[in-house]
Amino acid sequence: MHAEGAMLHSKIMAYDLVVIGSGPGGYSAAVRAGQYGLKTAIIEKAPKLGGTCLHVGCVPTKALLHTAEVWDYFLHPAEQGLSCENPQLNLPAVMKRKQDIVDKHAKGITGLMRKNKVEVIAGYGTLLGGGRINVQSAEGTRVIESKAILIATGSEARMIPGLEPDDEFILTNVEILKLQSVPKSLAIIGAGAVGTEFASIFKRYGSQVTVLEMLPRLVPVEDEDVSKELERCFRKAGIRCETGAKASDIQRTGTGVSLNVTLANGKVEPLLVDKLLIAVGRKPNTDKIGLENVPGVQVDRGFIKVGPDQQTGEPGVYAIGDVVAGTPQLAHVATAEGMIAVAAIAGKPFTPINRNRIPGATYTEPGIGSVGLTEAQARQQGYDVKIGKFPFAGNSKASIVGHHEGFVKIVSDAKYGEILGVHIIGPHGYELIAEAVAAMEAEATVDTMINTIHAHPTLYEALGEAFNAVYGQAINF
Ligand code: NAI
């Protein structure tokens, strides 16, 4: 039905599909459209393709986190029976490695566009209505037409009102990636994925890190046990964590930033730091893309409402990724939504997004991976909840890699052994979650997973043990 909607315009259009924005959602959708034989163009305002995820998000941060992991081994060589005198962390070289990775992949995306016959249009795209898009670039302005339009314009860091980022003192995820020396002290406002990942990076690089979160726990979207374990590990690593805290009177001092912190107990404490990172969420890029010209598109606090096929209320206009209402702002969600939208546009079958099958992956130390309902959500929804929990302390591979913090927690329904959610915090938890996502997608039960043979010694054996723990039958703990 919606696929037909995309074809409503009877006049000759230059394109079958125009994608606005080349993040992981937009460029993947363009590739898929090319594979389907649709005449496709992608509009990007930045000099290189790839969007936030590639240039100032997922990829560069994970490169810095990988270096932090390697560096951590250098700092404790004796644990491995090694010695290493006077190791040095050279931040400009670390940043260059990160940038080389980013640039390589940006080039790769350009190659993918060529391979799939997607036309790349440099400039800023604005919807004009009736399948037309205005593209503004240094060369001037032109209007293109398309049967279908896919909005994939992403998001940007939300700021605390009254503050503007700069390159030196008050930073967002963008500016912090340009640092050329490790700050002595770093305060971070917001303990979501961005805040906790940068805390994990800069603590290991040698900064004194303070995390300020207004809610009562770190990573508040995760299961409560995961938040507790992360806070325990952060404190042990020397990261100061203040939850239930409010920052106010934020001022640049000339050499750093001063602020007042109202602690959970009501006490107000002054804090003076070299740098301040603002990581309080992201706002969708929907205010300057001409939505007023497509009145069918419905917006909720800036987020675009879509149907199961990712189509907005305006026939032929689709939206994916961080601009979409109701799904988390994650690169892999954008990509999945892009596949759905393009299938719908091309009249192919698709399966709508199932919120309960979206993996979360936070690359802190220890790492977090999760899918499905938390224990609290499952109880709220009235399930007869049965929990299985297995600590990495009982996993030999965790001891081998020297990271035995954390656990795997299974949230299941006692009635049929349905897997409702899986929550991992521990070594490479963000990779290990893959088994749980596949199991839930295949509607495997706790018993199926108990009968699934897990190789030894592996980190993912901890999942097998946790499924056994649902029946109180873990072996190694
Ligand atoms: P977020 O919404 O996940 O977390 C922001 C945190 O800041 C929340 O815990 C919130 O309670 C807190 N907060 C808000 N205002 C505050 C204030 N004034 N004072 C103190 N705390 C305050 O946003 P974040 O971390 O900026 O990430 C944005 C998006 O990007 C999220 O959807 C996140 O999932 C995604 N992302 C995902 C990553 C991953 O999957 N590894 C990595 C980075 C970002």
**Residue 8 reports pLDDT greater than 50:** no
**Residue 11 reports pLDDT greater than 80:** no
Residue whose token pair is 């800023």: 124
- The answer to whether residues 32 and 124 belong to one domain is yes
pLDDT band at 13 (very low <50, low <70, confident <90, very high): low
Average pLDDT over residues 123-139: 97
- The answer to whether residues 73 and 134 belong to one domain is yes
Residue 165 covered by a domain: no
C-alpha dist (Å) from residue 329 to 53, 196, 337? 11, 16, 11
Per the CB < 8 A criterion, the answer to whether 137 and 46 are in contact is no
- The answer to whether residues 138 and 225 belong to one domain is no
Q: CATH number for the domain including 387?
A: 3.30.390.30
Question: Domain of 216?
Answer: 170-280
Q: Please indicate whether residue 189, judged by its CB atom, sits closer than 6 Å to ligand 1.
A: yes
Residue ending a domain, among 346, 375, 397, is: 346
> Is 404 known to be catalytic?
no
Residue 130 covered by a domain: yes
Per the CB < 8 A criterion, the answer to whether 357 and 437 are in contact is yes
Residue whose token pair is 């207004």: 214
- The answer to whether residues 335 and 371 belong to one domain is no
**Residue 5 reports pLDDT greater than 90:** no
- The answer to whether residues 128 and 99 belong to one domain is yes
pLDDT in tens, 451-467: 999 999 999 999 999 99
- The answer to whether residues 225 and 143 belong to one domain is no
Determine what percent of the chain is predicted with pLDDT higher than 70: 97
pLDDT in tens, 337-387: 999 999 999 999 999 999 999 999 999 999 999 999 999 999 999 999 999
Residue 28 covered by a domain: yes
Q: CATH number for the domain including 182?
A: 3.50.50.60
**Residue 7 reports pLDDT greater than 50:** no
Rounded CA separation 203/190 (Å): 16
- Which candidate, 235, 230, 464, places its Cα nearest to that of 367? 230
- The answer to whether residues 413 and 446 belong to one domain is yes
Q: 265 CA to middle of ligand 1, Å?
A: 23
Rounded CA separation 71/52 (Å): 26
Determine what percent of the chain is predicted with pLDDT higher than 90: 97
Average pLDDT over residues 305-310: 98
Residues in the chain, total: 477
pLDDT in tens, 318-331: 999 999 999 999 99
The conformation of residue 393, written as its DSSP 8-state character, comes to G
What is the count of structural domains for the chain? Answer: 3
CA angle at 407 for the pair 402 and 413, rounded to the nearest 5°: 160
Helix then strand then coil, in percent of the chain rounded to 5, is 35, 25, 40
Residue whose token pair is 């009235």: 382
Residue whose token pair is 């892009």: 338
Per the CB < 8 A criterion, the answer to whether 118 and 41 are in contact is yes
Q: Alpha-carbon dihedral of residues 368, 372, 377, 378, nearest 10 degrees? A: -120
- Which candidate, 332, 366, 355, 377, places its Cα nearest to that of 462? 366
**Residue 45 reports pLDDT greater than 60:** yes
Residue ending a domain, among 239, 254, 280, is: 280
Rounded CA separation 454/461 (Å): 5
- The answer to whether residues 289 and 142 belong to one domain is yes
- The answer to whether residues 400 and 257 belong to one domain is no
Residue 476 covered by a domain: no
Residue ending a domain, among 280, 303, 320, is: 280
Which pLDDT value is given to residue 4?
Answer: 39
- List the catalytic residue out of 2, 76, 423, 456: 456
The verdict on whether omega for the bond into residue 457 sits within 30 degrees of 0, i.e. cis, is yes
Pocket test residue of 58, 156, 194 for ligand 1, highest count of atoms within 8 A of CB: 194
Rounded CA separation 9/223 (Å): 47
Q: Please indicate whether residue 334, judged by its CB atom, sits closer than 6 Å to ligand 1.
A: no
Q: Please indicate whether residue 215, judged by its CB atom, sits closer than 6 Å to ligand 1.
A: yes
- The answer to whether residues 227 and 140 belong to one domain is no
- The answer to whether residues 212 and 302 belong to one domain is no
Residue with CA at minimum distance from ligand 1 atom 7: 190
Q: What is the largest CA-CA distance in the chain?
A: 72
Q: Please indicate whether residue 370, judged by its CB atom, sits closer than 6 Å to ligand 1.
A: no
Rounded CA separation 307/315 (Å): 11
**Residue 154 reports pLDDT greater than 90:** yes
- Tell me the pTM: 0.96
**Residue 9 reports pLDDT greater than 90:** no
Per the CB < 8 A criterion, the answer to whether 321 and 313 are in contact is no
Which pLDDT value is given to residue 10?
Answer: 41
Average pLDDT, the chain: 96
Residue 164 covered by a domain: no
Buried b (16+ CB within 10 A) or exposed e, 207-237: bbbbbbbbeebbbeebbebbbebbbebbeeb
- The answer to whether residues 196 and 241 belong to one domain is yes
**Residue 169 reports pLDDT greater than 50:** yes
In sequence order, the β-bridge partners of residue 140 are 137
Which pLDDT value is given to residue 1?
Answer: 36
Q: 226 CA to middle of ligand 1, Å?
A: 16
Average pLDDT over residues 150-154: 99
